[in-house]
Amino acid sequence: MTIREQNEQREHAVLEPWATFADSSAGRLRPMEPCPYRTCFQRDRDRIIHSKAFRRLGNKTQVFISPEGDHYRARLTHTLEVAQIARTIARALGLNEDLTEAIALGHDLGHTPFGHAGEAALDEVCSFGFRHNEQSLRVVDVLEDLNLTREVRNGIVCHTGRRKASTPEGRIIHFADRIAYINHDIDDAVRAGIIRENDIPQHLRKRLGETHGKRIDTLVTAMIEYGQRYLEIGMDEQMHADMMELRQFMFDHVYHGTAAQREEKRAKSMLRSLYEYFIEHPDELPDDYFVLQARGEALERIACDYVAGMTDRYSIAVYKNLFIPKSWNKIED
């Protein structure tokens, strides 16, 4: 018996019956020789961590565009926080922690530079629209061809939107993503001086908690208790309503029309310009993208892939190189 088979056997001994078991996976898009010491979900986690798209998350904006300070979240730190929250829930409920972690680490691989401002910009210019969850799936399926299991792929594309993931582990990510970003965005907004903790409605502070850590603990505990009671992923109606009210508070006071997004229009304009430039000059796309053209992919799809994959600073550098006269870069303030 290989180490992988021992691990698969151990899952049946320690996980709950409603968990997703590695040896019952629906498989991959293409057959792959099993690893002798890692389960299929452990292998997916490793393939995601070693991908180029995962490395780029460290230089992609979460909410605050080009923040001044070392403690603001980037897309990578958000991803790690989602993974930590999701693993805690999965472990407490006796679900597959490896599958949960793999989905969490891959859920935002397709996010654009400059956060949701970049997503909105590409959605406006691309005739086929742009959704970061769908782009994340395209990253793992096409752009990096990671050949992940169907359970991980399903969890990635279903982490947001109306469609529910097919596994309980995938459904955890839907909630863990919101728990993470609502609370860490509050933390960043307070640090930026946009809101104060006391600005959060008092009834929400009382029910969810008065600090970042207490709010996360309250929501995670609510999910664990709900899962233990109903053998399903969720939280009770009042707790979910409180979480969504807090989310709406963030949209009203931070995400829309505040100093947090003072650079949003510029970022969107820049990404639109980059997209349109590469549509007009496809010969200037990197060599990797000519492979997609050879497969018959539409040019606007390829240009969208390239711009979406850029980090914040790389997109700025490309924009400067293409649109800013070189002599202007030498002018001192």
Q: Which residues have C-beta within 8 Å of that of residue 161, sequence separation ≥ 6?
A: 131, 133
120-163 pLDDT tens trace: 999 999 999 999 999 999 999 999 999 999 999 999 999 999 99
Mean pLDDT over all residues of the chain?
93
**CA–CA dist 257, 51 (Å, integer):** 35
Is residue 71 scored above 60 in pLDDT?
Answer: no
Calculate mean pLDDT across residues 302-325. Answer: 95
Residue, of 233 and 187, whose pLDDT is higher: 233
pLDDT of amino acid 64? 63
Q: What's the confidence (pLDDT) of residue 327?
A: 65
What percent of the chain has a predicted confidence (pLDDT) above 90? 82
Residue with more model confidence, 237 or 294 = 237
Q: Are residues 171 and 20 in contact, defined by beta-carbon separation less than 8 angstroms?
A: no
CB 157 within 8 A of CB 137: yes
Q: Residue-wise over 217-244: b if at least 16 C-beta within 10 A, else e?
A: ebbbebbbebbeeeeebbbeeebbebbe
- Alpha carbons 124 and 134: distance in angstroms, whole number: 16
Is residue 233 pLDDT above 70, yes or no?
yes
Check residue 63 and report its DSSP letter.
S
pLDDT at 329: 61
Indicate the SS3 state at residue 75.
helix
Neighbours of 267 (CB within 10 A): 24
Please say if the pLDDT value at position 243 is more than 90: yes
Higher pLDDT, 45 or 267: 45
Which domains does the chain show, CATH number per domain?
A: 3-261 (1.10.3210.10)
- pLDDT over 70 at 70, yes or no: no
